[in-house]
Structure 1
């Protein structure tokens, strides 16, 4: 009865029209049959002369005057009760046709509403926290219901994925906090108990742990701002090459300590950006290079305007490069180049996620690739004019849920 290509509005119109035609047809057939039955009963009750006159009239023969008068008198006498019976027949046939159409219409309405009932039940399960619920789309569903089922299943899948990653992120945050907090608690307890001397070097080491915790909190705050779409506020049209030069100048001591030689190819590239956030992103890339690619000895920074008028900021190193499964970098906000997730090299594991959040908040994106001769390339792609673009980083992009 249903055709998948039909829309709900068109299907409803067709069903209503079919029910109206069916109702009229049933009433017409019933009344026609009862009229014939009533006519046969009247004819059978006529006297012989009147019956003969009626047959002559149907045959096209003019009956005699007396028989014709008798026929008309009988018909006039029986017309009122016959009309009443006919009115009753019309009413009964109309009620029967309406009842039959109501039953058929109720059945069709139930079939149309059944997927919506399944969706309501699944939505209740989703509300209670069961993100594994799905709705099977029927081949006979209308276009709108099929689209709604597909959208609901996609939403449930995204929520299930978000829950899994949120659970992982909570475990990762606990992992990141456990080590420095354990060191701080053990060292401070040892000092109070007199086991460890309260030396300047010990306090300096504890301060390093506090600084690591501060970096973790700052990174988490940056991602929280991205989730709330408040990461990029103050935009100005600036030259990306000048921003990179400023960051390289401020990070020069860190680069020298890592024994990295910096090469640059900074072409003028203008974009509407939040200078503070872009500098933060560039600095995060430089810090990652110092931690994981210092063995390469060379760091290259480039800026250019791409053919589509967007601006590219690239940081290229000669380190070990990225793993084959580069998707894990964008999906996992606590990804580390060190498979053991050791803190020996420092960092929170959130650096690339912060850079990705900043790029997405500008309406751009982050790209990863390995260089042919060894090393990695991370590029921040920013649109030239992003004033009219909404910040789409949200939970998905900031925490790797895209």
Structure 2
């Protein structure tokens, strides 16, 4: 955060404080304007009365003002004249007080409206931006003005963050829809072509042909199941039954079940499984570990080596880590995180029935457990994939 931004946030006042200051300022301004106006008009009336005094009354007034004793006739004339003029002057002062009070109230109201509009202008901008956002244009943003209150600045930041997240989600959803259509097109095309060929008599309806078509159906089923898993994760319904378990035991069971297929690919498995107690859904944790093992079998079999580790973290959590000597991940790691259908080798994965959703499913399971998935490349070659789980 830049220094001007920190300074602007530091000096921004809360809305309640700014409102109180504005009200107090308007009150003082109104009282001050009325006082100045009435005081000036009273002095003006006094001067007018003094100018209208008869000569003998004026002389008596001057002598009184100078501390001298006036003559009796002049003093009587002065008193009579002041009694006559005071009644009219009092009425004029009352009218002037009312008039200046109204003028000060109008002036204060005009200034108050100006200040209120300055305070409310960011809210008007937010309303306009929200209308744009509601129309489907997620590029709408609001610039925080220099005189905004803390609450308005916080609201602007929250709105901009929300708009940015919606824009990213909309971009990702659009990409995912295209990716789903692309992934489903190939097996559906193969199925349609094979079935049409059988109906037309071009292909014989033998066991081999049916097995090929069944393989495409199984691939579609895996894609649908992986998409269902991701949709459950979005709805926060992926992990429903937690229990305390040892991550090392779950990983050992998965490796034991997957040993035949790993040996068939020529992978030598090393393990370093340390006890690590976590609170997790055992079926989902097995699904995540099996997905990572299956990814290693598909993409890293050429390295001939796979190491699986479990460990307890200093904060009490657990980590499940897989290391291989395969091709590793691309330099642009964002491509793996953003693209749910990312494949290390697209042609090989389709040939072996992969959906490309494996890492997305694992990440969704990790996040549903309050953890996260990390992807990295080993300096000596190969990849490191780790599931971090929070403490039990």
> Above 0.5 in TM-score?
yes
The answer to whether the 8 A contact 1:291-1:346 is kept is no
- Match for residue 142 of structure 2 among 135, 139, 145: 135
Residue segments in structure 1 that go unaligned for 5+ positions in a row: 386-402
Q: Which has the higher contact order (CA 8 A, sep 6+)?
A: 1
The one of 29, 44, 50 aligned to 2:57: 50
Kindly indicate whether residue 84 of structure 2 is the aligned counterpart of residue 82 of structure 1.
Answer: no
Q: Which moved more, 1:255-264 or 1:214-223?
A: 255-264
Q: How does 1:310-325 map to 2 (within 5 A)?
A: 310-325=317-332
Matched-pair contact (CA < 8 Å) for 2:262–2:297 = yes
> In terms of mean alpha carbon deviation, does 367-376 or 348-357 score higher?
367-376
Q: Does 1:223 align with 2:230?
A: yes
Deviation by residue 1:151-186 (Cα, 9 ceiling, x = unmatched): 222221221111111111000000110000001111
Deviation, 1:141, is 2.6
After TM superposition, give the deviation of residue 379 of structure 1 in Å.
0.8
Alpha-carbon distance between aligned partners in 1 of 2:311 and 2:141, rounded to the nearest angstrom = 47
Partner of 2:109: 102
Find the aligned partners of 2:246 and 2:139 in 1 and give their Cα distance.
48
Distance in 1 between the 2:61 and 2:346 partners?
107
**Which residue of structure 1 lines up, in the alignment, with residue 335 of structure 2?**
328
Query: How many pairs were matched up?
Result: 384
Whole-angstrom CA distance in 2 between matches of 1:37 and 1:373: 96
* Greater share of helix: 2
The 5 Å alignment of 1:94-243 reads 94-243=101-250
SS at match of 2:350: coil
- TM-aligned CA deviation for residue 145 of structure 1: 2.2
Structure-1 separation of matches of 2:129 and 2:78:
73
Structure 2: runs of 5+ lacking an equivalent? 1-7
Deviation at 1:340, TM superposition (A): 6.2
Q: Partner of 1:120: helix, strand, or coil?
A: helix
| Alignment deviations for residues 257-296 of structure 1 (CA, whole Å, 9 cap, x no partner) | 2221211111111111110000000000011011111111
- Which residue is equivalent to 1:67? 74
Over 3 Å counting, the alpha-carbon distance change for 1:32 and 1:340 in structure 2 is farther
Q: Does 1:266 align with 2:281?
A: no
**Deviant stretches of 4+, over 3 Å:** 339-342
Q: Give, in angstroms, the shift of residue 194 of structure 1.
A: 1.4
Partner of residue 292, structure 2: 285
Contact 2:298 2:349 in 1 (8 A): no
C-alpha distance in structure 2 between counterparts of 1:40 and 1:304, whole Å? 96
The DSSP-based 3-state class of the residue aligned with 1:214 is helix
